[in-house]
A and B are shown apart, each in its own frame.
Chain A
Amino acid sequence: MDVPSDQPQSAGTTQRPAKMVAKDVDAFFGRTQALKKVSLEVATNRVLAIIGPSGCGKSTFLRCLNRMHEVASGTMKGRITLDEEDITSIDEVNLRRRVGMVFQKPNPFPTMSIFDNVAAGLRFNGHHNHKHLAEVVERCLRQAALWDEVKDSLNKSGMSISGGQQQRLCIARTLAVSPEVVLMDEPASALDPLSTAKIEELIYELKQNYTIAIVTHNMQQAARVSDMTAFFYLGELIEIGETKRIFTTPEKRQTEDYITGRFG
């Protein structure tokens, strides 16, 4: 019978290098500063949850990771690297293939079937071999835990399935281009509890093959699903650490106040 000992919990950033590193990131939309000197690491094959009250910059930060902030005319100072390569030196189209994103409201392309939705990323970048596409579509729908539910209706419109299924379809669509990192911006906040639970379990499975960063305003979800948690407030990173520690003994008073629901 094994004796329990005080082994340190696997910290997640021990052996392997971080997948993405942000250093002193400032972000601006026009004259408004949305992020102030944010530095953190996103550990490989781990789930990082980003929490904080509305307007704290968590979505902005997430979007900086795949340069989607530029789509909303945002600018960024500081340095973000993917596998130690500065993301501004990577072509943004390539970057977004490697760092995918799933949005809050499920948004399958309305004029396409389920199959076409998942294949879109590949097809619009020159892959037309139907056999290859079919393989990828099946693989990704399985990874997104949606295959069994739609395998007989792949030609139906992407909008013909329920909200929870649509969101899993969007996840499959993101996985189809073989990203290394998957960013999720409140992926379950528009869904019912059962669909939310399915998505959470999906995230737990996906982290074996992908690095995941998820923004959520639901703290309990962050506690259930993530390995590391980062708390943002008014554009600054207040605290980051192992989820277990953050939710039992946070270091900063602000973190504790937010987590216990005393503000925000």
Chain B
Amino acid sequence: MERHFERELEDLKGTLINMGSLVDRQLGSACRALFEGDPARAREVMDRDGEVDSFDTLIDRQCMDIFALTQPVAVDLRLLMSALAINSQLERIGDIAVNIAERVEPLVAHREFLLSTRLSEMANIARIMVRDSLDSFVRGDAALAARVLVSDDVVDKLDGGLFRSLVAEMKVHHERVEPAAHILILSRHLERLADHATNIAEDVIFIVEAKLVKHTAGEGIRP
């Protein structure tokens, strides 16, 4: 039997998806601005962060209302709890997009150096992870979410490799210390990005299969 408050749950899902789209676009713009050396685009990303924050507040309020008015249980309850968590992850991903945008200007002059590192590869993988984690939420696809969890290892390895190569570079070419430092920080941002995507994927698995896979560091569910 369809209950009228099912619409509210659908609305909530819709809002989350919209926020996800926005955040994904922010990320895309930020990375493009970075690798194309486009400060104007970076500026746009920073300006739009307010929208992301508005979504954050809206979703928190929607969740609170649904909790208060409909006493959700089972899958509805898991959805709601995860919605709050995913909301928070998306807001932080939004912040990372801004962090990336902030480093566009200082690196405009060092584009060649930037492109010679594996940062763009990392950025691509991280962005795909974010997108996949959001898709898995939209489609309720636990298998896709599980694959996101696997990619986290790749990003971690790239981050480690980038660290070592940049440190080596800094020891040899002192004039590249400044851009290298920015790139190191960017690498850290991207690594965090992958972590957030992973968290979202874990929440999706919780919603769909009622399995708590957080903090399990690679046991069981990885395909």
Residues of A that sit less than 8 Å from B by CB? 1, 3-5, 194, 197-198, 200-201, 204, 220, 223-224, 243-244, 247-248
Contacts and interface: CB of A to CB of B under 8 A. Distances in A.
Nearest to B69: A223
Contacts of A3: 51, 54
Interface of B: 1-5, 15, 18, 21-22, 51, 54-55, 57-58, 64-65, 68-71
A244 B55 contact: no
Nearest to B1: A197
13 contacts: A1-B18, A3-B51, A3-B54, A4-B15, A4-B54, A194-B1, A197-B1, A198-B1, A201-B2, A224-B5, A243-B69, A244-B68, A247-B68
A220 B4 CA distance: 15
Given A3-B51, A4-B58, A247 B69 contact: yes
B4 A204 contact: yes
A206 to B, nearest CB: 12
B71 A223 contact: yes
A248 B1 CA distance: 27
A228 to B, nearest CB: 13
Contact of A201 (B1, B65, B70): B1
A52 to B, nearest CB: 18
A201 B4 contact: yes
Contacts of A198: 1
Contact of A223 (B4, B15, B70): B70
A220 B21 CA distance: 35
A194 B68 CA distance: 21
A3 B21 CA distance: 12
Contacts of A220: 71
Given A1-B22, A197-B1, A201-B1, A223 B68 contact: yes
A201 B70 CA distance: 13
A1 B54 contact: no
A248 B22 contact: no
A210 B123 CA distance: 57
- Considering the complex of A and B, which 5 residue pairs feature the smallest CB-CB distances, nearest first? A247-B68, A4-B58, A223-B69, A248-B68, A204-B4
Contacts of B64: 248
